[in-house]
Structures are given as structure tokens and as C-alpha cells.
């Protein structure tokens, strides 16, 4: 398979100290942290271990859209624990391809089994805006599937 090299690695784009939340925090607490820090995702940290990720979409789709008191639901009830990951050495093009293929915008970065950062779609597009075309293609394909020409 042909691999594009941009000259930028995930390490060039990633945040090394992303915002975290406890798995025992409520969704309201998590949402307040997101608003205060202007972020769309929180890494869930239990002691020194990253155990999951919580995104704005998770809060809306798994929290608000379900029955019960959303504000009192705990992060660990809806967080994503099956983390798709990358490495700091990976080219940003490949990280973007992973995001596209898994339909995610936040990618934890691991090195030698240890969490070292988080890279987001925005982080990559800031340093390599030409890669935006890859995401546009994915969105257009999704729209075609949802809105067949009649």
C-alpha cells in the first residue's frame, strides 16, 4: 500500500498535556471542564492510567439522548474504552487516515506502551491544511450514502 509522507509527524502536532477527567466525575462536571478549557474531548484518567476518552458527541449521543438524569451520569458510564491509537513517529497523513477510517477526531498517542499525548483533527489541519481534502472526500461520500440522488 502506498503511504504518503508529509514530513510532519504526530509528535509535531500533538498536545502533550491534554485535559483529563476522572471516570467518577459526572457528565455535567465533564461538560463544564470542556467548556472552560475549550476542548471537544477529555481523556479519562484513573490514577496515572488513561482508561478512556469522552467526547462532546459521547455526551450528546450516549448521555443526553438516553433516559435518566444526564447531569448525574458518570463519565465511566459512557466513555469510550476501546481506544484507537497512534504513535508519535507516525506521519500526520496516516493519523488522519486512521481518524477518517474510524470516524473520530481525537487520537491518543502512545510510545512504548505509555500514553504521551493526544492529536486531534484540528491539530493536524493547523500544521498541514492541505490534508483537509481527505476529510472533505469522506464527508461527501457519507452525504451521498444518506441522500441518494432521486
Domain boundaries, the chain: 10-146
Residue in 43, 84, 77 with CA at minimum distance from that of residue 62: 77
As a whole number, mean pLDDT of residues 135-148 equals 59
Model confidence band, residue 39 (pLDDT cutoffs 50, 70, 90): very high
The residue-averaged pLDDT of 110-130 equals 88
pLDDT of residue 36: 97
Q: Are strands 106-111 and 114-120 parallel, antiparallel or unpaired?
A: antiparallel
Q: Indicate if the pLDDT at residue 141 is higher than 80.
A: no
Residues 1-13 have a mean pLDDT of 77
Report DSSP state, residue 1: -
Long-range contacts of 109-112 (CB under 8 A, 24+ apart): 109/10, 109/11, 109/14, 109/85, 110/85, 110/86, 111/87
pLDDT at 1 over 50: no
| Mean pLDDT value across residues 72-77 | 92
In this predicted structure, the answer to whether residue 149 has a pLDDT above a threshold of 60 is: no
Q: pTM for this structure?
A: 0.80
Question: Which of 33-47, 61-75, 103-117 has the lowest average pLDDT?
Answer: 61-75
The 3-state DSSP class for residue 118 equals: strand
Does residue 136 carry a pLDDT above 90?
Answer: no
Right CATH for 10-146 from 3.40.50.720, 3.10.580.10, 3.40.630.30, 3.40.50.1820: 3.10.580.10
Q: Can you give the pLDDT at residue 113?
A: 86
CB 99 within 8 A of CB 16: no
Amino acid at each position: 500500500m502506498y503511504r504518503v509522507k508529509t514530513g510532519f509527524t504526530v509528535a509535531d502536532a500533538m498536545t502533550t498535556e491534554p485535559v483529563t477527567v476522572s471516570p467518577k466525575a459526572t457528565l455535567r462536571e465533564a461538560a463544564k471542564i470542556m467548556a472552560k478549557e475549550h476542548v471537544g474531548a477529555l481523556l479519562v484518567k484513573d490514577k496515572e492510567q488513561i482508561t478512556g476518552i469522552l467526547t462532546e458527541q459521547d455526551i450528546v449521543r450516549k448521555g443526553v439522548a438516553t433516559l435518566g438524569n444526564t447531569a448525574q451520569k458518570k463519565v465511566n458510564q459512557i466513555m469510550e474504552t476501546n481506544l484507537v491509537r497512534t504513535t508519535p513517529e507516525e506521519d500526520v497523513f496516516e493519523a488522519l487516515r486512521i481518524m477518517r477510517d474510524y470516524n473520530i477526531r481525537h487520537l491518543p498517542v502512545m510510545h512504548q506502551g505509555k500514553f504521551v499525548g493526544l492529536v486531534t483533527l484540528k491539530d493536524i489541519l493547523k500544521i498541514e491544511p492541505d490534508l483537509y481534502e481527505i476529510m472533505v472526500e469522506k464527508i461527501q461520500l457519507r452525504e451521498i450514502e444518506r441522500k441518494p440522488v432521486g
